[in-house]
Chains A and B, each alone.
Chain A
Amino acid sequence: MGPIMHQYHNIAKSQHINKVCRLIILLLILLMSPGLSWSKQAIPMAEDPEVEKRMLALTEDLRCLVCQNESIADSRADFSNDIRREIREQIQANKTDKEIIEFLVDRYGDFVLYNPPMKPTTILLWFGPLILFIVAVWSLIAYLRSRSRRVQIEEITLSEAQQKKAEALLNEENK
């Protein structure tokens, strides 16, 4: 086998490795896709589906304080397990949703709520986006107006000599 053949052999081999690599990557992507993953769900205390349903509805709007970007309903953290247990027990003790939320806010503060209450400290949070939107629309309108005014002025200030020159140029192009 000459050196050239040897080289070909190597290329073929590396192509083969490439293929295998691609297959592995494809498999990994498939494994990671949400539909196919076998991630563990929380073990539900499924004695009473009604309780479970109410508990889930409540915890969807509560923030897990340990893993702050997850709701307590989604979180697998120990903290969330405890809170879910607490809420289940309170539902079984015939507490209303409002009482349960109050219980948690008393202990963890408004921060557990994904829906912050309207309070003096949260006014900016509630109306800030609206104010920003109004300012943005107002400045857009102001800009568009000043631009159209500028364009009008420029049209008017085209002098006669310039007008003739422009026409001449256009005519030349049409020939």
Chain B
Amino acid sequence: MKYLMPLIAFMVLAIFLFAGLSLNPRQVPSPLIDKPAPEFELNHLHEPEKVFSSADNIGKVWLLNVWASWCVACRDEHPLLVQLANSGLVPVYGLNYKDEDTVAMQWLRQYGDPYEVSVVDAEGRVGINYGVYGVPETYVIDKQGIIRHKQIGPVTVKSMEDTIIPLIIELQRQT
């Protein structure tokens, strides 16, 4: 009996600490989920005279991938994005975040270019509107222009198969 109380206290503490181990403090829930994707108009990376407007994508499901040539983790996810783009399932748009155009284009030549269009956000202003704080980030945006999912950090085979691709297929079925 004498040891029961400390034991219970220890158990409770241990359970909390154990649960804490599996939490990721970097995974901050985005308040933008199920909200309209912030609109933007930005110049194309490859054809700077052209302007891309996010409003043009209303009516289709699309991915917005925030990337940069200085971002090491972007290299990890890049083959998956190329594969996804090649499959033709969904158009992938790139937001080239705080990068230098020439370096960015060189990077795409080297690693492959999965993007329908890459747009230039050199000062990261659109990034702030999207709540970007860790590149890469990937947003799934539905036909109404609502953000349905945000992947913080690189996409993985698991997150593609378990979450992103099923979600895209489901969203494409909706009118």
Q: Which of A's residues lie within 8 Å of B, judged by CB?
A: 65-66, 68, 78-79, 82-83, 86, 105-111
- CA of A82 to CA of B125 in the docked complex: distance in angstroms? 8
| Given A66-B134, A82-B124: A109 touches B29 (CB 8 Å cut-off) | yes
* B32–A107 touching, CB < 8 Å: yes
Given A66-B134, A78-B124, A109-B29; 13 other pairs, CB 8 A cutoff: A65-B28, A65-B133, A65-B134, A66-B133, A79-B133, A82-B123, A86-B125, A86-B128, A107-B129, A108-B28, A108-B133, A109-B31, A109-B131
Contacts of A66 in B (CB 8 A): 133-134
* A105–B128 touching, CB < 8 Å: no
* A109–B30 touching, CB < 8 Å: yes
Residue of A with least CB distance to B127:
A82
- CA of A85 to CA of B32 in the docked complex: distance in angstroms? 22
How many inter-chain contacts with C-beta < 8 Å in the A-B complex? Answer: 38
Contacts of A106 in B (CB 8 A): 31-32
Question: With an 8 A cutoff between CB atoms, is B130 at the interface?
Answer: yes
Q: Can you list, as one digit per residue, whether each of B27-65 has a CB less than 8 Å from chain A (1) or not (0)?
A: 011111000000000000000000000000000000000
- CA of A86 to CA of B128 in the docked complex: distance in angstroms? 9
Contacts of B29 in A (CB 8 A): 109, 111
* A108–B134 touching, CB < 8 Å: no
- CA of A105 to CA of B29 in the docked complex: distance in angstroms? 12
Question: With an 8 A cutoff between CB atoms, is B98 at the interface?
Answer: yes
Number of B residues, CB within 8 Å of A: 18
* B98–A107 touching, CB < 8 Å: no
Question: With an 8 A cutoff between CB atoms, is B20 at the interface?
Answer: no
- CA of A44 to CA of B28 in the docked complex: distance in angstroms? 29
Residue of A with least CB distance to B128:
A86
Contacts of A79 in B (CB 8 A): 133
| Given A66-B134, A78-B98: A109 touches B28 (CB 8 Å cut-off) | yes
Question: With an 8 A cutoff between CB atoms, is B25 at the interface?
Answer: yes
Residue of B with least CB distance to A112:
B28
Residue from A68, A78, A86, A107 in contact with B131 in the complex, judged by beta carbons closer than 8 Å: A107
* A82–B128 touching, CB < 8 Å: yes
- The A-contacting residues of B in range 119-163, CB under 8 angstroms, are 123-125, 127-131, 133-134
Residue from A65, A83, A108 in contact with B31 in the complex, judged by beta carbons closer than 8 Å: A108
CB distance from B75 to the nearest CB of A (A): 19
- CA of A82 to CA of B31 in the docked complex: distance in angstroms? 19
Contacts of B129 in A (CB 8 A): 107
Residue from B25, B123, B125 in contact with A68 in the complex, judged by beta carbons closer than 8 Å: B25
Residue of A with least CB distance to B26:
A68
* B28–A107 touching, CB < 8 Å: no
Can you offer 18 A-B residue contacts whose CB atoms are under 8 A?
A: A65-B28, A65-B134, A66-B133, A68-B25, A68-B26, A78-B98, A79-B133, A82-B123, A86-B125, A107-B128, A108-B28, A108-B31, A108-B131, A109-B30, A109-B131, A110-B31, A111-B28, A111-B29
- CA of A86 to CA of B125 in the docked complex: distance in angstroms? 8
- CA of A29 to CA of B31 in the docked complex: distance in angstroms? 45
